[in-house]
Copies of this chain bind each other. A is one copy, B any other.
Amino acid sequence: MASTQAQATTQRVTAENGIEYAYRDLGESEVPLVLLQHFRGNLDNWDPALIDALAAERRVVTFDNVGVGATSGTTPNTIEAMAHDAIAFVDALGLERIDLLGFSIGSFVAQEIVLIRPDLPRRVVLASSAPQGAPGMHGWAPDVIGAVGGREPNPQGYLDVFFAHTDSSREAGNAAAQRIFGRTTDRDEPTSWQTRQAQYDAVADWGIPNYALLERVTAMDLPVFVANGDSDPMILPRYSHLLAGLLPEARLKLYPDSAHGFLFQHHEDFAADVRAFLEEAD
């Protein structure tokens, strides 16, 4: 069995919905931690240092959702459909109780999974997140979508959004990029333009302002750890406050000198916080 994410090979499982999901599976624990990836990210886009730090004490499952990377099918254009697709994957692995860690659009999917199938998740980590209907997040700011939404890869744009505009954060960003792009064998498939378009449609739909929809997350009756970088330009830290104010049982941490990719930059601290949060339920 692989002992680091860099060695973890991509596995496949076919679910009841006929989709063949690509995933990686590392570490051991009774309740596995299932991760939900960011906009346009595939298996390789998880910082291996973060996955290794989490997997030191837990079973950590990363996967490509429908239409993403090496998983078959077409990426749907709503968060709700993505949540059903993620549940189908979890069912295909035979998992009946999981912890969830959703990052960015993955954190929207995590919320929806909790609402659709409340008995499945035990605890949830929402990284760089926001509740559906929150005002001011209908699509990302022009400089943000310009940086990460183009047809061609834009490493500088990625750094600009995922890391704060300080020397220390940029240095951490370059180190994370080296870890992420350092893998040479068994790399995942790149995500397609279809995935980009469908995911951004879903993000826009999630961000249509609607104060009544803020009530939805009050049904998330389980412990939630809300986390973000203090300078995230993609999903502003104020939405983490909003979640912490609405959720029945939330704790909040904003990590210093960091942006959307705070969990890669502060991978050791964040993984320690996540492990401590999950261990309370073991």
**Interface residues in chain A, defined as those with a beta carbon under 8 Å from any beta carbon in chain B:** 134-135, 211-212, 214-215, 218, 238-246, 250, 252
Contact = CB atoms under 8 A, between A and B. Distances in A.
Contacts of A240: 245
A242 B246 CA distance: 7
16 contacts: A134-B245, A211-B211, A211-B212, A211-B214, A211-B215, A212-B212, A238-B244, A238-B245, A238-B250, A239-B245, A240-B245, A241-B244, A242-B242, A242-B245, A243-B245, A245-B245
B218 A135 contact: yes
Copies in the complex: 2
A246 B245 CA distance: 10
A63 to B, nearest CB: 31
A237 to B, nearest CB: 9
Contacts of A212: 211-212
A242 B238 CA distance: 9
Contact of A214 (B214, B244, B250): B214
A225 to B, nearest CB: 14
A21 to B, nearest CB: 35
Contacts of A214: 211, 214
Contacts of A218: 135
Top 6 nearest A-B pairs (CB, nearest first) are A242-B245, A241-B245, A241-B244, A241-B241, A211-B215, A238-B245
Nearest to A214: B211
A87 B214 CA distance: 32
A215 B209 CA distance: 10
**Residue of A214, A243, A245 with most partner-chain B CB within 10 A:** A245
Nearest to A239: B245
Nearest to A250: B238
Contacts of A238: 244-245, 250
B215 A135 contact: yes
A218 B135 CA distance: 9
Contacts of A245: 134, 238-246
Given A241-B241, A243-B245, 16 more contacts: A135-B218, A211-B211, A211-B212, A211-B215, A212-B212, A238-B244, A238-B245, A238-B250, A240-B245, A241-B244, A241-B245, A241-B252, A242-B245, A242-B246, A245-B245, A245-B246
Contacts of A211: 211-212, 214-215
Contacts of A215: 135, 211
Nearest to A252: B241
Contacts of A134: 245
A189 B134 CA distance: 45
A212 B135 CA distance: 12
